[in-house]
Amino acid sequence: MKTGNTGIKRILKAFVYSAEGFLESVKTEAAFKQELALCSVLLIIALLLPVTIIEKLFLISTLFLVLLMELVNTAIEAVVDRISDEIHPLSKKAKDVGSLLVLLSFIYLGIVWITVICGIF
């Protein structure tokens, strides 16, 4: 889908497409909405914790990772569903791996947050 846009126009269009993707995800994806709410609360907590700036960056990066992996999972599911409604082992594999991405990002979030918080006490 080449549009022929270049320079600033291409950058602005990419920003609009990104905003549309965000709004569509918030509107239609329950998991993304829930994770966005959780990450919003954790972001506030991370900013208020009495830790170094580097530790804050680690905490906040885990929040972005969870949201990124959920979006990747959503994209995988959309492509698989677009291709066919048919139940197929490869479709299941793609969706399961997408789900695993989200799970691993949550595990990483837990490890980092526990490590930083335990360092406070």
Annotated active-site residue in 35, 70, 77, 86: 70
Q: Any catalytic annotation for residue 70? A: yes
Q: List b or e across 78-109, with b for residues whose CB sees 16 or more CB atoms inside 10 angstroms.
A: eebeeeeeeeeeebeebeeebbebbeebbeeb
Helix-strand-coil split of the chain, %, nearest 5:
85, 0, 15
Residues known to be catalytic: 70
